[in-house]
Amino acid sequence: MTTENYYLTLTCPNRPGIVAAVSTYIFELGGDIEEAQQFDDKASKRFFMRVSFSCSADSKTLRTGFVEIAKRFDLTWDLRAVKDLKRVLIMASKLDHCLVDLLYRWRIGELPMIICGIVSNHPREVYSSIDFADIPFYHLPVTPETKPAQEAKLLEIVADSKVDMVILARYMQILSDDLSTKLSGRCINVHHSFLPSFKGAKPYHQAHARGIKLIGATAHFVTSDLDEGPIIEQDVTRVTHGDTPEDLVRKGRDLERTVLSRALRYYLHDRVLINGATSVVFSD
């Protein structure tokens, strides 16, 4: 008998019996729970859960039977077969270190996803040293005057390619409030600062001016509030008074690559659940 691997994620108002109902349902269908993580947020009184399991039942059967449990506990939930890879659109500008890193990790199988395309406000020639293989490349130049049309074209690409998540891999254009709203929960950015410190432009230079001893990078969901979306992943490295702003930029590039790839990996394995202005991340 063939078995399939699945991810089940859910959130709901907290009450007794949720874990028992979910685990019993999987057991009664002959499933085997391989990993289960849960979190009870005392502040919001909401419950979050992620279950990785194998089962011989197909997705349709699992979904149909789970509806009763979802109604009983008022669940917001998702069930996905692991083989059904997420569809991702990557956006970049001239700084290509995050883009190159994501492509490398994708090629070696570390980031299981379907890359629907690469979008840039710069022409393909800027990336002449990078092998995009057969990944579609979209050059979408933008000026203040053409921004509405450019973003409309981007949304068209997202819809036509059935994109699940947009990744801003150091895409150096601020998205409009309208676009940010339309991509709510479906767009991850990496910011070269340990948010909420040093938002906006040139954060490494801001950090150097303040004599900071730790610099960081942050991967977060995009919202209309600049650099204030729910945080997914962060990391830091130590710097000294002897480091120049350029040294901070150099050290920060490594952080940006690591933080963005880690956040994307969590997302691809359904480990990230939005919780208001924050997120619940069931790290591996």
Q: Three-state DSSP class for 80?
A: strand
Q: Are 3 and 55 in contact (CB under 8 A)?
A: yes
In angstroms, the Cα distances linking 113 to 3, 96, 103 are 21, 19, 11
pLDDT of residue 152: 97
Token digits of residue 233: 């992943």
pLDDT of residue 200: 61
Average per-residue pLDDT for the chain? 92
pLDDT of residue 1: 66
pLDDT of residue 2: 87
Q: Are 104 and 263 in contact (CB under 8 A)?
A: no
User: Nearest 5°: phi and psi at 54?
Assistant: -115, 150
Question: In one letter, which amino acid is 266?
Answer: Y
pLDDT of residue 272: 98
Is 227 one of the catalytic residues?
A: yes
Regions of the chain where pLDDT drops below 70: 1, 194-201, 203-204, 207
pLDDT of residue 185: 93
Q: What is the pTM of this model?
A: 0.92
105: left (phi over 0), alpha (psi -120 to 50) or beta: alpha
- Out of 32, 160, 225, 227, pick the active-site residue: 227
CATH of domain 4-81: 3.30.70.260
pLDDT of residue 204: 66
CATH of domain 86-281: 3.40.50.170
Domain ranges of the chain: 4-81, 86-281
pLDDT of residue 197: 60
pLDDT of residue 67: 97
